[in-house]
Structure 1
C-alpha cells in the first residue's frame, strides 16, 4: 500500500481512497495508530469517525474514505439489507472567479538598506543631547523614522497567478520561455522532422532548467526563513493549490452585532484585550499588602541592593547580536532587520540614552507603545475570546530590555533568589528538566508504595493580571530598590497598545496591569512575581513551576485515603492566587492520580472553590501528554499524528527541492518534534511506531523505496536513529547534572577500575529502573573514563559522532555492544 501512496504522492493529484479496511478507528490500539499514520504521512486523512458497522454487541468504524481533498460533502446512509452503513461523499464544483487580491507591503532589500544607513550616518552628528531620556530617544527615533519613511515606501502588490512563476524565474528563464513560444508557433507551419525533434529537446531542457531554478528559489526561501515550519507549509499549500488569503478577513460578533470593517474590528479587539484582565480579576480579593506579608513570612529579605551598571557602545552591539533578527515590524513599521543595518552607527547614541535612563530611572515613553496582532486559537472566529493577543514591542526597546534582564538575572542568580523549582525562562533549564523533576516526584511516591496525586493548575491570563504594586513590593523584597526600582516602575507605567488589522489600527489604550507579553523582560518579572508560591505549599508536597504553569504532586497512602491535607494545601494555594490578583480557573484545572499498573484507580475527594475535582485519565504537561500509569501510549499516539504530518511535509519539500533542503526541513520540523521530551518517553513499548515514521521521512529525503533497508544509510547520513537519540539525551542529561549523581569512589576509597562509574540506585519497581532514572546511569557507565572527563561541548560531539557510526535500531543493540564508543 505504501508503494502505491508513494507513486500517488509524486503525481500531486487529488486522491480519494475508499474501502472496508477491517481496522476499527474507534479503538485506541497500536495497529490503529500505525494505520492512520501511514495515510497521514502521505497527506491523506479519514473522513468518518462515526460507527459504520453496528451490531447488538458492538459498534465499529471499519469502513472509511481517505482523501487529501478538504472541500468534500459527506454523509452516512443507514444500513438496509447490509450489516454495514453506506458512506457517501460528493465533490462540489464551484466556479471560482479570479480575484485580484492586493496586499500592502514595505519592500526591504540590500540597496534600500544601504541608502538608509548612508542617510543615518550623514545626519547623526547633528543630534543635540540633554539629560532627558525622553528627549534624547525622541530625537534619535524621529531621525530613524523619517529616514525609514523616506527610504522604504510602502507598495501595493497584486497577487495574481503569474506571481509564483515570476518569483523564481530568472531573466534567462524568461528569455527561454519566449524562445519556446516562438518555436511552438513556428512548428505550426514547419513540419520538418529535424525541427520538431529540436523543439522537443528544447522543451525538455527548458523544463529541466525551470525545475532547477524553482528548486533553488524554494530552497533559499526555506533556508532564510525565521520560521522554517511555517514557510514549509506555505510552500506546500501553494504548490497543492491550497492558498489562503494574504489578508485576514476578520469579522466579530459582539452583543449579536456583526462588526466587519478592519478599523471597527481593531477597536473591538482592543477593548476586549484591555478589559479582559480587569474582568478576570474583578471577583478576586487582591491585596498587595497581604501578598507582601505572605512573602515576608516565607522568604528572607535580600539585604543586598541591586544597581544597574552603565553600558558601552560595544555592549549595545553585543546584546543586539543575541536577539533573533526577524522581519516582524513594530508599530512604526521598523524591524530588527532594518536596525541591524545601522546598529554599529547608532550604538554610541543608544549607550548615552540607556545610561541616562539608568541614572534618572526613566524608561523612554516611545519604547512603551505596542502593536497587537490577534492570533486565532480555536472555536468560532466571530468571538474575540478565541484570539490570543500577540504583542510586537518597539524594536529598539528590545535592546534596552535585554540589558536590564541580563543585569537583574545575574543579581538574582548570584544571590540564589529564584526558587529551585522554577524552570521557566531561566538559563540552563528547560521544559524537559521540569518534566524530569515531575516524574521523579511520582516515582518517589511509587517507590514508597504510595500513589501520587497531581494537580495541574490553569491560570487565566496570568501575565496580563500581574498587579503592578504587588510586583513592586516583591522587587523591593528581593533587593531591587532606589533608582533601579524607579526604572522598573517607569517601564511598567504609561504603556499603551494598538491592535492592527490589515494595516488599520485602533485608537490605542492604556495598559492598566500585567507585564508586557512578547517582551524580553516581562517573563522574568513574572517569575519574580510568583517566586514565593512554592513556599506556600510547604515541604511535604512537591511543586514544579514553568512560568505560569503550576503543577503539584501529593503523595498519598493507599491505605489511608485522607484528602484533608491535600485540600488544606489547595486552599492555601487558592488564597495565594487570590491576594496576588491571579485567577485559578477551576474548570480547566486538572486532577490526575498516578498509580502503578497493578493498582486500581479510586475516586478522589479534592475540593477546589467548593467543587469536587474529577479525575482525568490524561493531561498535557508542557506539551507532553501524561497518562495515569506513565505508559506513554496517549503521548505516542498524539506524537505519531504530528510526525505523520511532518513526514508528509518532508516528502513534498523533497519533491520540490534538493536533498539538503529536505534535510533542513527534517531537522527543523520532524526531528524537533520527535526529540522533544524523548528522555521521558523514549523507553516506552510503543516507540516502534515513531521509528517507522522516522524511517519513512528519511526514505523521502533520499528518494528510497518504501521497504528499502536503512541500516547502512543511517550510518552515512549523520542522522541519529530514534534509539540513538534516546541514548544521546540520557548520557547528556547525566553529563550536565554530574554533580547530582554518586560515584563509586564517593562510597569507598579502594582504587578499583570502576571507581569513576556512577552508582545505579536500587529501586523496588522495574518500571522505575527501566525509565530514564535507571537507564541514564547504565548508559553513561558504558562510556570510558577519559571521555567522561571531556568538556560538555567536546563530550557532546564525541557522543554524536559515535552514535552516528553505530545507528542503533533499539536499546538492546546498544546494551549488547561491548564497544559502543569505538
Structure 2
C-alpha cells in the first residue's frame, strides 16, 4: 500500500498565504498545507470550527478501503506525512491541540479522481491548487456567513468567463474588484454576472483603475453616494442583513499618489466612523508596500495615517504579501473582527493574489431576491381590443352626463364609464418587479449548472468544472444568437430606427435606479414609505409659506394692476376638431396620473372621446373651476446631479392627469397667440415658445458678442440663476400679473383655480407619501406651467438699461459692452443694474442662487471687477456651461468639441461592441451618435480646423470599423459606400436650412444681421433674394455664422435662393451639394478649407 500525497485546501493561522511554488512540475507531489483546529484572528478571538468536523470536505479524490490512516506531523520547515497505526475503538478523540488529522488511505493502483480536464484558466497555473480549493474551503466553512472576495483584476472584461464559472459554483456573497479598467462606454450588461447586482466606479479622465463590486441578489444592497466620502476611484455600498447594517467600500489608489490621497483617506475614515452603521469595511488596492502591517509600522510619512487608524479604531487584517513580497491589497474593518482572512492564489491573468475575508454576519436562511420585489399594477394595452372598448363606451349610459350642470357629477360619470370599459377589456394586472437585473441564463441551463455544481461538491470531481465552463460558453453563444435575431427583426420592421433605439436603450439600461436609500442629517433612510415622506417634506419646503401671500403685506396686491395692453382675452373656444388634433399628438404611454387613465385610452378609445371631453372642458372654463380630481398630482423625484443619497439633489416632476394636459394645451395655445399678437412677451425670451429654442438664443447672444469684439469692445456677461424658480412663484402675484396682461374672467378665474388648493403625493414604485399642499409654484411637469412662469418673469428685462439680456426660461444672462479706459464708470453702471435686479427679486419673492451666479469677460482675461448681488460678491467664471454649450473667454469652443466627441465616442463604442448586424450599427449611428455631433452646428462651423477634424474623426473611425480594416478606400469613398455625408457637409446643409428659416422668419431671431438686401430700382442678373453682407475686422467675426453664411447664401444658385418652403429648399440644396464641382465655390476665397476633409 502506497500513501499518495493530496493537496488540501485548508488554511493555516489567520491571515495566511497559500502560494504557488515557482518552477515546480505539476506532477511533483506537494506538501500538505493545513490549518490548526482553532483559527485565531488578530484580536485573539477563536472561531468555533474544529478542523476534524470538515473531514468530508478535505479529500479531492475518492478514498477507498479506509483501513489505514495517515498522520500529518508538523516540522519546522513544512508539513509532511508520517505512517501511523490503525486506530482502535479506544483511541482518544482528536482535540483542538492536535497537530495532525486523518485523511484516510488510498490504493496506489487506483488513480485519484482529480480530473485532468480541469481547465488551467479557472484554477491557475497549477491544476491541483489555486482558487478552486480556497473558495471551496470558504464555502464549506462560512457558507452561512457573509464573506468578501477581494480581487485585483487588471481588466475585468477578459476575465468574465472565470468570474462567471466561480460565481455559478460557489456563489460568494460579495466580490470586490479593483483595477476593473472599465470606462463609461462599457455597458453594465457587458460586465454583469447572473444572480448578482453590481456597482461600479470608473476612472475619470484616463485609462485603467476603477472599482467594481458584485453582491448576491439575496442581499439587500444600495449604493451610497455622499459628498463627504469623495475619494477618487472609491465605491460605497450599503448592506442590510438580518437587522444588521454594514457599509462595504472599495478603493483603488494608483502608485505614487499617497501625498494627495492621504488627506482624503484620513478624512473619509473620520467621516465613516461617525456614520450610523453597525459595521464598516473598506477593501482595495492601496499600494502601501512600505508599511509592515504585522506591527503595524512604517516610514515617518505614514505616522499620521497609522495614528489615525489607531485613534478611530480601524483594524487592517491582511498581513501576508498579496503581490510579490508586498502587502498591497488591504481590508480595513471598524467595529467588526473577521472570522478568517485568507490570502490565496493569484487570480488568472493578474499578478495580485486573491484575498478572502469571512465576516461574523450570518446570512439569512430564507433570504430571497423576490422579497425585495415590488408589485406594479398595470394594464396590458398591447393586447387591447380597442374596437370593443369603443363599442362599450358608446353603449354606456350618458344621459345624465350630457344633461347635468354639475362638473363634479359629470367627471364622476365619465371616469365611472371609462373604467368599466377598461376593466372589462383590459383588466388590471399585478406584476412583481425585481430590483435586480434579469437573468441571462434560462431555467433549463440554470438547472443543468446546478446539477453540475452539486455533482462537483458531492464527488469532488474537478472534471465537472470543465463541463460548467463549456455550459457557460454555450449559454453565451445562445445569448449572442438571440441578440443577432433581435437585431435582424428590428432592421426588417417599418419603424426600424425606433425599434433599434429601444434595443439600444434596453441594452444600455444600467442597474436599477430605484431610490432605495437616502441620508438625511446623518440618518439612514431605507424604507420606501419613509423615503417618500422625506422627499415630500423636502419638496414642500421649497414652496412659499401661505402667510407670505396675504394681501395686506405686499405692495403690488394692494393696488389694481397696471394694464400693459388694451387687448384682452377672457375665454377659449373649445372645438371637437381642436381636441381631436391635440389627442392625436399625445405620446403613447402606459403612465397615468391620479385618475388612473393613460394616453392609450384617449388615443385609441374611439371618436366619442373628444366629444365627451368637450363637455368637461366647456363646463370647467365656464364655471371657472379646475376639477378637484386633477389637483392632486403624483411627484416623481428626478435626479439632477451630485450624490444620489442626498435628497437636495433631486427635483420634483409632477405627473398630471392626461385629460388635464389636453385641456391645458388648448388653453396654452390660445394664450400664446394673444401674447405674441400683442407683443407682450419680450423678444429676449427664447424659452417655451414656438419658433424659439436654445439655438436661437445662442445665435442672438454670440452674434452680439462677436460683433462687439469685432468693434474692439470688451464684453462682460453676467450669468444669473434663480433658486427654485418654478416652485417659488407667488400665486397672488402671478394672478395680479396675468390680470395686467389682459387676461380676464372666466379664463383668469380658471387659472386661479388651476393654481390654488393643489396637493402632491410622492410616488416611488408602489410606495406613496401622504398628500401635501402646494402653496406656490407653477407645477413642474404641467403643460401650462412653463408659460405662466415665462409671463411671471417677463418684466425682468426692464431692470437693464445698458445691458442686453438673453433669457431661456429661468436661465438669464446679461451682456455689456465697454472700453478698457472707461472701466471705473462702467463698473458703477453695472452695479446699479445689479441692485435693480436684487430689488426686483425681492419684490416678486424670487431669490438668486448666488453660488451659481458669476461673470465672464471676453477680450480682457485679466480684468478684475468688484460686483455684488444681494450683498454677495459675484465670482469670475473661467468656463461656462450655458444651455448645453461649453465655452471660455477665448471663444474657441474647444471645450464643446471635446465634450461632444467624448459623448459620441462612448456611445459609438457601446454600439460597436453590443450589436452584431452592420446595418443595425449604421442606423443607430445615424439615429443616436450623429445627432450628438450636430448640436449647435453653426458654432462648430466657426471653430478651428483641427477641432472640425476632431469631430470628423468620429465618423472616420466608424466607417473604417464598419467596413473593416481590410477596406483600402479613403474616407470619402467609405462615406459613399455607406451612403453617409461627411459631417462637414451635413453641417453646411443644416446651417443653410437654419439660415433659410431665420431669413424667412420661420425661426425667431432678435438680431437684424440676417435679412434680405435692399433692392434698387432695377435688378441685376442673379441678385434677387440675396442677403446683406457684413464687413469684418477680425477672424472671430469672419468665421461666425451670420457673416460666413451670408456669403455662402449669396453664392447659391437663384433657383435655390428663391425656394418658397423649407421642404423644397432642402431638396434643392441636397441635389446641389452632392455635386463636388460646387463645393469649392461655397468656400471662396478659402478654396482649400473643404479639401481638408477629403484626407483618409
**TM-score normalised by structure 2 residue count:** 0.60
Offset of residue 481 of structure 1: 0.8
SS in 2 for 1:679: helix
Q: Is the 8 A contact 1:327 1:335 kept in 2?
A: yes
Counterpart for residue 512 of structure 2: 245
Paired position in structure 2 for 1:654: 915
Name 2:787's counterpart in structure 1.
524
Kept in 2, the 8 Å contact 1:291–1:576? The answer is: no
How much has 1:803 moved relative to structure 2?
A: 4.0
The structural deviation recorded for 1:746 is: 2.9
Q: Does 1:130 align with 2:404?
A: yes
1:273 and 2:451 equivalent?
A: no
Kindly indicate whether the alpha-carbon contact (under 8 Å) linking 2:633 and 2:760 is maintained by their aligned counterparts in 1. Answer: yes
Q: How many angstroms does 1:250 deviate by?
A: 2.1
| Residue equivalent to 2:487 | 215
Q: Note the C-alpha offset of 1:496.
A: 1.5
Shift of 1:625: 0.7
Corresponding residue number in structure 1 for 2:525: 259
Distance 1:281 1:579, change over 3 A: farther
What CA deviation, in whole Å up to 9, does each residue of 1:537-580 have, x standing for no partner? 12x21110101111100112111212000011111112112211
Pick the aligned partner of 1:665 from 902, 924, 929: 924
Determine which of 823, 844, 849 is the counterpart of 1:561. Answer: 823
CA contact (8 A) 1:459 1:548 kept: yes
How do 1:591-630 residues align onto structure 2 when only pairs under 5 Å count? 591-595=855-859, 599-630=860-891
Q: Which residue of 1 aligns with 2:850?
A: 586
Partner of 2:599: 336
Give a deviation string over 1:182-233, Cα, whole Å, max 9, x none.
xxxxxxxxxxxxxxxxxxxx99998997455332466699969989868624
Q: Deviations over 1:754-812 (max 9, x none)?
A: 35432320112121111212111122122111111111221123324544665999986
Whether 1:792 and 2:1051 are equivalent positions in the alignment is no
Alpha-carbon separation, structure 2, partners of 1:818 and 1:690: 15
SS of the residue 1:573 aligns to: helix
How far 1:525 moved relative to its partner? 0.8
Q: C-alpha distance in 2, partners of 1:280/1:699? A: 63
Secondary structure in 2 matching 1:602: coil
Distance 1:221 1:376 in 2: 35
Q: 1:397 to 1:161 in 2, by over 3 A?
A: closer
Q: Deviations over 1:23-54 (max 9, x none)?
A: xxxxxxxxxxxxxxx9866779996679xxxx
Preserved CA contact (<8 Å) 1:727 1:779:
no
Equivalent residue runs for 1:363-762 within 5 Å: 363-538=626-801, 540-562=802-824, 563-595=827-859, 599-655=860-916, 658-685=917-944, 686-700=947-961, 709-738=970-999, 740=1008, 741-746=1010-1015, 749=1018, 751-762=1020-1031
Kindly indicate whether the alpha-carbon contact (under 8 Å) linking 2:375 and 2:433 is maintained by their aligned counterparts in 1. Answer: no
The answer as to 2:255 corresponding to 1:77 is: yes
Q: Which residue of 1 aligns with 2:610?
A: 347
Counterpart-to-counterpart distance in 2, 1:460 and 1:276: 9
Contact 1:113 1:338 in 2 (8 A): no
Cα pair 1:145 1:332 within 8 Å, conserved: no
Shift of 1:718: 4.7
TM value normalised by structure 1: 0.79
Partner of 1:7: none
Q: Which moved more, 1:126-135 or 1:706-715?
A: 706-715
Contact 1:401 1:520 in 2 (8 A): yes
CA contact (8 A) 2:202 2:211 kept: no
Aligned to 2:1050: 781
Contact kept? 2:887, 2:894, Cα under 8 Å: no
Which of 326, 329, 347 is the equivalent residue of 2:589?
326
Aligned residue in 1 for 2:369: 99
CA deviations over 1:436-477 (Å, ceiling 9, x no partner): 111122123212321111111111110111111111111111
SS state of the match for residue 428, structure 2? coil
Q: How far, CA to CA, are the matches of 2:753 and 2:963 in structure 1?
A: 56
Query: Equivalent residue of 2:880, what SS?
Result: strand
Please state how far the C-alpha of 1:392 moved relative to its aligned partner: 0.9
Question: Is the 1:714–1:804 contact (alpha carbons within 8 Å) kept by the matching residues of 2?
Answer: no
Q: State the alpha-carbon separation in 1 of the partners of residues 996 and 414 from structure 2.
A: 48
- Distance in 2 of aligned mates of 1:104 and 1:436: 49
Partner of 2:508: 236
Deviation of residue 116 (structure 1)? 4.4
Q: Tell me the residue number matched to 2:459.
A: none
- Alignment CA distance shift 1:705-1:667 (3 Å): same
Quote how far apart the aligned CAs of 1:602 are.
Answer: 1.4
Shift of 1:118: 4.4
C-alpha distance 605-704 of structure 1, shift in aligned 2 (>3 A): same
Contact in 2 for aligned 1:604/1:614 (Cα 8 Å)? no
Q: String of CA shifts for 1:689-744, please: whole Å, max 9, x gaps.
A: 12111333444556666986331232354543221132123212321122643545
CA distance in 2, matches of 1:383, 1:224: 40
Residues 104, 217 of structure 1: CA spacing in aligned structure 2 closer, same or farther, 3 A cutoff?
farther
Shift in CA distance, 399/816, structure 1 to aligned 2, threshold 3 Å? same
Alpha-carbon deviation of 1:133? Answer: 2.3
| Segment drifting more, 766-775 vs 270-279 | 270-279
Counterparts in 2 of 1:337 and 1:589: CA distance versus 1, 3 Å: same
Instruction: Give distance in 2, aligned partners of 1:490 and 1:132.
Output: 16
Q: Which has the higher contact order (CA 8 A, sep 6+)?
A: 1
Structure 2, unpaired ranges of 5+: 1-155, 162-181, 191-199, 215-249, 259-285, 289-327, 330-351, 449-473, 1001-1007, 1092-1096
CA distance in 1, matches of 2:749, 2:928: 44
Stretch moving more, 490-499 or 141-150: 141-150
Verify: 1:109 aligned to 2:381, yes or no.
yes
Please report how far the alpha carbon of residue 65 of structure 1 lies from its aligned counterpart in structure 2 after TM superposition.
Answer: 2.2
| Shift in CA distance, 94/330, structure 1 to aligned 2, threshold 3 Å | farther
* 8 Å Cα contact 2:594-2:630 kept in structure 1: no
Q: Is the 8 A contact 1:499 1:506 kept in 2?
A: yes
Distance 1:726 1:122, change over 3 A: same
Q: Secondary structure at the match of 2:850?
A: coil
| Aligned-partner SS, 2:970 | coil
2: CA distance, partners of 1:446 / 1:618:
18
CA–CA distance in structure 2, aligned partners of residues 807 and 99 of structure 1: 66
- For structure 1, list consecutive stretches of 5 or more residues without a partner in the other structure: 1-10, 17-37, 51-60, 179-201, 238-242
Structure 2 partner of 1:6: none
Residues 1:496 and 1:225: Cα distance change in structure 2 (over 3 Å): farther
Contact 1:329 1:336 in 2 (8 A): yes
Cα distance in structure 2, aligned partners of 1:505 and 1:204: 40
Once the two structures are superposed, the pairs formed by residues 284-295 of structure 1 within 5 Å of their partners are: 289-290=555-556
RMSD: 4.4
How do 1:50-199 and structure 2 match up within 5 A?
65=208, 73-78=251-256, 99-100=369-370, 102-105=373-376, 106-114=378-386, 116-123=389-396, 125=398, 127-128=400-401, 129-149=403-423, 151-157=426-432
CA contact (8 A) 2:561 2:736 kept: no
Per the alignment, in what secondary structure is the counterpart of residue 818 of structure 2? strand
Q: Name the CA distance, whole Å, in 2 between partners of 1:490 and 1:621.
A: 36
- Partner deviation per Cα, 1:45-94 (whole Å, 9 max, x = no partner): 996679xxxxxxxxxx9xx52679687742233399xxxx9798978889
Task: Indicate if the aligned counterparts of 2:631 and 2:754 stay in contact, CA closer than 8 A.
Answer: yes
Say how many residue pairs are matched: 730
Which one of 577, 602, 607 corresponds to residue 314 of structure 1? 577
Instruction: Determine if contact 1:226/1:326 at 8 Å carries over to the other structure.
Output: no
